[in-house]
Structure 1
Amino acid sequence: MTYPHRHPTADHVEKKGIPVHEHTSTGHRTPPASHRRITVTPPEQQPPAVSVWATAQTSPATQRKDRYSPDSTAHPAKMLPAVAAHAIAHYTQPGDLVLDPMCGIGTTLVEALHLGRRAIGVEYEPHWVTVTQTNLDLAHHTNATTIAGRVVHGDARQLSTLLPADLHGQVALVVTSPPYGPSTHGQVSTGTAGVHKHHHRYGNTLDRGNLANIGHHRLLAGFTRILTHTAVFLRPGGHVAVTLRPWREHAELIDLPSHILTCGRQAGLIPTERCVALLARIAENDLVARGSFFQRDFIRKQRNNGLPLHLIAHEDVLIFTKPTTSKATAEKGTPQLQFRDSVHAPLAAA
């Protein structure tokens, strides 16, 4: 059994500013580093070096209140702000650059700005690019920060053509999450016709350019390509945090985390930690699940049919590191950390 430890950030590298084009949150050119106002996270607020992240002590709605626009609610698979914030505070320092190549509503970018980090993201769907820009503007308004934040419209599989070359080797942390099967959250409305689920699908389901709309194997190939591109922008020793979870297909569990581990190795990254980000609140003697109406309904029906399923109460967080030497790159196929067996099975909450 190996316990993960706090990783020091890589040696200081020159922090180049993010070029300002369309979709910038400031509307003007980024001021010199000496003039930027950085919100430093006090030491007592730094997250502890643990493998189980207590990221659901407050509800998702509470975490997003006054920090995200109402339009953000419609996204079918939003990352918990506390998950992004924990990773950013743990693996970066104020002023570092954080990247999310599939940023959705911009959760990673917004939390990075609130923690005094620079942020850049890419999003495939134009509507969510607009929502992300609104959320970045809101972060600047509420936090009075002048730190640069930017969202770019495009396909993350073409990342090297979307972001400027002067950002190569400058990113301290990548935080992202691939689409995972049909297990999106969605919204619920009720009426005389009964319960209706909406906003539970990724964009146009006929758009084959969207990773969420292609088969499992093509999804893995596309995500490997994205990780390969992000490695170019990572600085030596930089980290990639991928949040994801297994899903059920015809009652069979699809072990997406294990597949993504392989994707990371194929992209030249070294797996260094496997953590869990709780989706349930830690109570005195138990976990209090925060499952959606449809998740609970699905579990209830499966139990009535004799299948003893439980609500999944956590997301896996896979941490990869960019090698600092060419020798380490050559050895990337060898795991650098023995993952704990207890983390491979989903935590459950009744």
Structure 2
Amino acid sequence: MQAAGCVPGTEADAERIPPAVAAHAIATYTHPGDLVLDPDCGTGTVLTEALRAGRHALGLTTNNRWWTVARANLTAAKSAGAWRDGSVLDARPKVLATARAVGLTGRVGLVLTALRTTSNNPNSPDHDPVESAAQLATTLRCCEPLLRAGGHVVVIAQPHRRSDGSLVDLTTQLIAAGTAAGLTPVHRCVALTAELRGDRLITRASLVERRAARATVSPALLAAHHEVLVFQLAHDAELAAANAIDTSPVADDGSGFRVTQPSCPEEQRQEATHAC
């Protein structure tokens, strides 16, 4: 299914961030005129939603196919009236730690990216989401110096199952990746990807996800959400915690997110588990 407002070919990126999820994260964690960075942007859904929201956008990818589609998406957004600066580079995230990125230091309001697997085909033998989470630490380490004061890093991950149908614990891996990059986890959210029709929950799983579910040894339910981990610079998180008045869970406001703001990572994992 083609993503709304995106050019044909965007849907081929099975691990892209859904436009509605990207739009909500951008509206929640940035202000108009901020710079949004996706260091592994795929077909560019984050970049286009940033432009449409009046933010500047910068993306990186080394996949020639995705680079072409992402460029087309940026062009389409600008043709539709999104006038902010937006670009996508054919480069690896490590370029952000070189002299070429010096001008970005302290300017990025939001790093918004998806956990991408080590293979372009999630069903291939080298598909290892845990290894990908470990590699993400390197990417986040390159992004950390670019964050402005009060900026956020948001990582979105699709649920993954082992061959026996059990879910892989990606949350722990992602928190470890962020912490290794000098970031502090401040929220764990759930981005719903299913639609409620009457008393039925209709999943919007991709063909790849449906095939993976059928390939498990035991019957497995299709995932109806994406995991969302939100980080800040350590000193920003400390200031926010000192100024916090209410740390109770926030009720679902219909936006697709359910957010908890626990006082420590261990409580964060426990409360978010109940929220799921």
- Tell me the TM-score normalised to structure 1 length: 0.64
1:128-207 maps to which residues of 2 (within 5 A)?
128-142=66-80, 144-161=81-98, 163-180=100-117, 201=121
Is residue 134–residue 173 contact of structure 2 (8 Å, CA) maintained in 1?
Answer: no
2:178 corresponding residue in structure 1: 264
Equivalent position of 1:254 in the other structure? 168
Alignment correspondent of 2:232: 321
Which residue of structure 2 lines up, in the alignment, with residue 242 of structure 1?
A: 155
Measured after TM superposition, the shift of residue 308 of structure 1 is 4.9
The one-letter amino acid paired with 1:233 is L
Structure 2 matches for 1:63-142, cutoff 5 A?
Answer: 64-65=3-4, 67-142=5-80
Whole-angstrom distance in 2 between the partners of 1:263 and 1:76? 22
Counterpart residue identity of residue 133, structure 1:
R
- Is the CA contact (8 Å cut-off) linking 1:313 and 1:346 kept in structure 2? no
Q: Which runs of 5+ in 2 are unaligned?
A: 240-262
Give the letter aligned to residue 98 of structure 2: T
Helix, strand or coil for the counterpart of 2:47?
A: helix
Match of 2:143, SS? helix
Matched residues, percent identical? 35
Aligned pair partner of 1:219 in 127, 132, 146 = 132
Aligned CA distance change for structure 1 residues 173 and 336 (closer, same or farther; 3 Å):
same
CA distance in 1, matches of 2:237, 2:152: 17
Q: Contact (CA 8 Å) 1:180, 1:247: kept in 2 or not?
A: no
2:252 is aligned with 1:341: no
Deviations 1:182-234 (A, max 9, x none): 7xxxxxxxxxxxxxxxxx728xx8xxxxxx96756653332111111111111
Answer with 1 or 2: which has the greater Rg: 1
In 2: Cα distance, 1:145 partner to 1:342 partner: 39
* Amino acid corresponding to residue 121 of structure 1 in structure 2: G
Residues 312 and 226 from structure 1, CA distance in 2 versus in 1: closer, same or farther, beyond 3 angstroms?
A: same
Q: Shift of residue 342 of structure 1?
A: 5.7
Correspondence list, 1:256-295, <5 A: 256-293=170-207, 295=209
Structure with larger RCO (C-alpha < 8 A, sep 6+): 1
Q: Which has the higher helix share?
A: 2
Please, which of 137, 144, 156 is the counterpart of residue 231 of structure 1? 144
Name the SS for the 1:102 alignment partner.
coil
**TM-score, normalised relative to structure 2:** 0.79
SS in 2 for 1:132: helix
SS at match of 1:310: coil
* CA spacing shift, 1:272–1:326, aligned 2, 3 Å: closer
The secondary structure found in structure 1 opposite 2:9 is: helix
The equivalent residue for 2:258 is: none
Distance (whole Å) between structure 1 residues aligned to residue 161 and residue 136 of structure 2: 20
Measured on the aligned residues, the alpha-carbon RMSD in Å equals 3.0
- Which is worse superposed, 232-241 or 338-347? 338-347
2:139 alignment partner AA: I
User: In the alignment, is the contact (CA less than 8 A) between 1:237 and 1:324 conserved in 2?
Assistant: no
